[in-house]
């Protein structure tokens, strides 16, 4: 049985009831890497897909995939779709290929990309795009085919992993969908995790390709009462009685995320896991679903709310310094609230980074926090984020998606950066709708659900963020 690795790197809980998925993964890794007995066969790739609603355990399987692939000596290219980064063209592709390029010199980049350099280098973020022309998406896709095929051969065997594919930017997803059809002919295994109900229609072929690879998308199923009992026992302490565990299963429906969060709450509140206490479980599970989450955040105080909102606006992987800047908090106060937010299982250390970056404990938490930001304040926060990102020297590309969330008509700073002449903001991969189209685009995005009163005094007028003078 696989054991899931915690964010601290130590072994935590067993991964339960995923034997079928893991044995399919092992089979495909063997096809890709060979059986290890020295017999040389034809190495084949393919596509493996883990599908399920939020909390069903896709990321846990993806993390295990990465671990097993590395253990077999594979080169792993890893990316994650981000709910806040869907507007940024080729965002996912950049995550996949940048670590490979980062190890090489600019001369080597030119050598690797050859005649594709001018088309692909801006899309993957190696150079800023020049002038006003958007890259030709088909040209970029052809170039990426060529580059990743080269990677597949040069760094063979390669495992390309995309988690939260439903949030991948459309440009990356279109490329991956077309490229995946060829993966069987190459020593490259593609593994994707996604929420089936949210996968864009254009990614439909991914499902068919997975079927052709003989694995069909694995629809992850809820945990059984027996598995729920094991999680509760593991987290709360042995001795949880059967009636109590059965009720844990009933209120969570066996969703692993909810089972784990419920167990953490039971432990935190010191509730004895016995039948006499089952009546408390309904209240606890309500607090775990997103409305309860917003209240939990508000109880931590205004500074914590500001920090969490700033982090939600900044996106998938967040620098704590940047979040503190956007939230307007000093270093000491930021460190304090960060401890609180970690303790409340709202923020956690980022998975891939050792640079102290943060992520939300789960994408469900990130979505709930983002949705809770009042609309006008969210616009202002995106303005502050754009300015902070530019000030931090992270480049105009990183700022571009925040500018897209603003209402730029009367704002010189935004118009100057997004209007003509187009600045290097239009660099790698940013989609560039005409400025007049932005308010409509913004209107299509999910907007505020609640407006927590505790922070209303903090609300700044829209677009009045502290920006450098034009
Ligand atoms: N098979 C499993 N057995 C036990 N716990 C699991 C299992 N799958 C996931 N979990 C736990 O459930 C939580 C949510 O899982 P996650 O992989 O993030 O879900 P998803 O990516 O589908 O939203 C995590 O804490 C994870 O450790
Ligand atoms: Mg996930």
Q: Which ligand gives the minimal distance to the CA of 51? A: 1
The answer to whether residue 400 is domain-embedded is yes
How far is the centre of ligand 1, averaged over its atoms, from the C-alpha of 27 (Å)?
22
How far is the centre of ligand 2, averaged over its atoms, from the C-alpha of 408 (Å)?
34
Number of C-beta neighbours around residue 88 at 10 A: 23
Q: Give yes or no: residues 141 and 284 share one domain.
A: no
Q: Give yes or no: residues 379 and 253 share one domain.
A: no
The answer to whether residue 467 is domain-embedded is no
How far is the centre of ligand 2, averaged over its atoms, from the C-alpha of 315 (Å)?
15
Among 128-132, 313-317, 333-337, which stretch is predicted with the lowest mean pLDDT?
128-132
Which of 167, 193, 219 corresponds to the end of one domain? 219
Token pair 């022309």: residue: 133
The answer to whether residue 317 is domain-embedded is yes
Q: Give yes or no: residues 157 and 243 share one domain.
A: no
Q: Give yes or no: residues 364 and 318 share one domain.
A: yes
Q: Give yes or no: residues 316 and 262 share one domain.
A: no
The answer to whether residue 295 is domain-embedded is no
| Residue among 56, 252, 256, 365 to mutate when testing ligand 1 (max atoms within 8 A of CB) | 256
Q: Give yes or no: residues 10 and 124 share one domain.
A: yes
139-191 pLDDT, tens per residue?
899 999 999 998 888 889 999 999 999 999 999 999 999 898 888 789 999 99
Q: How far apart are CA 403 and CA 255, in angstroms?
A: 37
Atom of ligand 1 nearest to the CA of 17: 1
Q: In sequence order, what are the residues at sequence separation of 6 or more whose Cβ sits closer than 8 angstroms to the Cβ of residue 392? A: 319, 321, 322, 325
The pLDDT value recorded for residue 12 is 66
Contact 343, 420 (CB under 8 A): no
Token digits of residue 441: 């685009």
8-51 pLDDT, tens per residue?
445 467 899 999 999 999 999 999 998 766 566 667 888 999 99
Confidence of residue 294 (pLDDT cuts 50, 70, 90): confident
Q: Give yes or no: residues 248 and 137 share one domain.
A: no
How far is the centre of ligand 2, averaged over its atoms, from the C-alpha of 288 (Å)?
17
Q: How far apart are CA 257 and CA 203, in angstroms?
A: 26
Q: How far apart are CA 216 and CA 257, in angstroms?
A: 24
How far is the centre of ligand 2, averaged over its atoms, from the C-alpha of 216 (Å)?
19
The pLDDT value recorded for residue 39 is 60
Mean pLDDT of the chain: 81
Contact 263, 285 (CB under 8 A): no
From residue 451, how far is each of 21, 237, 296, 323, 446 by CA, in Å? 42, 39, 14, 20, 14
CATH number at residue 117: 3.40.50.300
Q: Give yes or no: residues 182 and 278 share one domain.
A: no
Q: How far apart are CA 469 and CA 387, in angstroms?
A: 10
The answer to whether residue 465 is domain-embedded is no
Pick the most confident of 86-90, 352-356, 421-425.
Answer: 86-90
Tell me which residues have their CB closer than 6 angstroms to ligand 1: 4, 13, 15-18, 52, 54-60, 231, 256-257, 260, 362
Beta strand 188-194 with 46-51 is parallel
115-127 pLDDT, tens per residue?
989 888 988 888 8
The pLDDT value recorded for residue 409 is 54
Q: Give yes or no: residues 283 and 309 share one domain.
A: no
Q: Give yes or no: residues 146 and 12 share one domain.
A: yes
Q: Atom 23 of ligand 1 has which residue's CA nearest to it?
A: 55
Give the residue numbers spanning the domain of 282: 225-288
Beta strand 218-219 with 188-194 is unpaired
The pLDDT value recorded for residue 410 is 55
The answer to whether residue 293 is domain-embedded is no
| Residue among 257, 265, 345 to mutate when testing ligand 1 (max atoms within 8 A of CB) | 257
The answer to whether residue 127 is domain-embedded is yes
How far is the centre of ligand 1, averaged over its atoms, from the C-alpha of 54 (Å)?
9
Q: Does residue 130 surpass a pLDDT of 90?
A: no
Q: Which ligand gives the minimal distance to the CA of 257? A: 1
364-394 pLDDT, tens per residue?
899 899 999 998 899 999 999 999 998 888 8
Q: Give yes or no: residues 90 and 186 share one domain.
A: yes
Q: Give yes or no: residues 213 and 260 share one domain.
A: no
Q: What's the sign of the alpha-carbon dihedral 303, 354, 9, 94? A: positive
The answer to whether residue 272 is domain-embedded is yes
Q: Report the domain count for the chain.
A: 3
Dihedral in degrees, nearest 10, Cα atoms 320, 324, 327, 329: 150
Q: Does residue 446 surpass a pLDDT of 80?
A: no
User: 378, 323, 375, 321: which is closest to 346 by C-alpha?
Assistant: 323
Q: How far apart are CA 182 and CA 170, in angstroms?
A: 19
Q: Which ligand gives the minimal distance to the CA of 22? A: 1
Which of 261, 288, 315 corresponds to the end of one domain? 288
């Amino acid at each position: 049985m696989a054991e899931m690795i915690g964010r601290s790197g130590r072994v935590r809980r067993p991964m339960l009831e995923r034997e079928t998925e893991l044995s399919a993964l092992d089979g495909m890794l063997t096809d890709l890497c060979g059986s290890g007995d020295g017999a040389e066969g034809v190495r084949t790739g393919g596509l493996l897909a883990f599908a399920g609603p939020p909390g069903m355990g896709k990321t846990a399987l993806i993390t295990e995939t990465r671990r097993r692939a590395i253990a077999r000596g594979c080169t792993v290219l890893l990316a994650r779709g981000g709910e806040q980064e869907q507007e940024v063209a080729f965002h996912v592709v950049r995550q996949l290929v940048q670590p490979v390029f980062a190890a090489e010199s600019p001369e080597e980049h030119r050598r690797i990309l050859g005649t594709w350099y001018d088309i692909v280098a801006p899309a993957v973020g190696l150079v800023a795009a020049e002038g006003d022309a958007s890259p030709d998406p088909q040209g970029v896709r052809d170039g990426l085919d060529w580059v990743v095929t080269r990677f597949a051969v040069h760094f063979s065997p390669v495992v390309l992993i995309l988690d939260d594919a439903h949030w991948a930017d459309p440009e990356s997803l279109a490329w991956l969908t077309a490229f995946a059809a060829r993966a069987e002919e190459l020593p490259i295994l593609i593994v994707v995790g996604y929420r089936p109900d949210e996968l864009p229609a254009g990614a439909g072929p991914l499902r068919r390709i997975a079927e052709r690879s003989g694995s069909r998308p694995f629809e992850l199923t809820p945990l059984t009462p027996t598995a729920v009992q094991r999680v509760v026992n593991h987290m709360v302490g042995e001795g949880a009685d059967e009636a109590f565990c059965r009720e844990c299963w009933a209120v969570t429906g066996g969703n692993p995320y909810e089972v784990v969060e419920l167990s953490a709450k039971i432990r935190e509140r010191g509730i004895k896991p016995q039948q006499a206490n089952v009546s408390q479980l309904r209240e606890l599970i309500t607090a775990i679903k997103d409305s309860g989450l917003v209240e939990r955040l508000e109880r931590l105080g205004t500074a914590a709310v500001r920090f969490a909102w700033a982090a939600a606006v900044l996106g998938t992987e967040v620098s704590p310094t940047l979040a503190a800047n956007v939230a307007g908090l000093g270093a000491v106060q930021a460190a304090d609230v960060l401890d609180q937010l970690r303790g409340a299982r709202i923020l956690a250390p980022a998975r891939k980074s050792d640079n102290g970056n943060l992520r939300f404990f789960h994408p469900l938490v990130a979505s709930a926090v983002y949705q809770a930001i009042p609309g006008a304040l969210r616009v202002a926060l995106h303005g502050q984020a754009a300015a902070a990102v530019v000030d931090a020297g992270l480049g105009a590309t990183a700022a571009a998606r925040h500018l897209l969330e603003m209402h730029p008509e009367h704002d010189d700073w935004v118009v100057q950066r997004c209007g003509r002449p187009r600045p290097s903001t239009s660099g790698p991969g940013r989609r560039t709708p005409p400025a007049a189209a932005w308010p409509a685009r913004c209107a299509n995005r999910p907007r505020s659900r609640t407006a927590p009163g505790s922070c209303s005094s903090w609300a700044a007028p829209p677009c009045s963020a502290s920006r450098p003078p034009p």
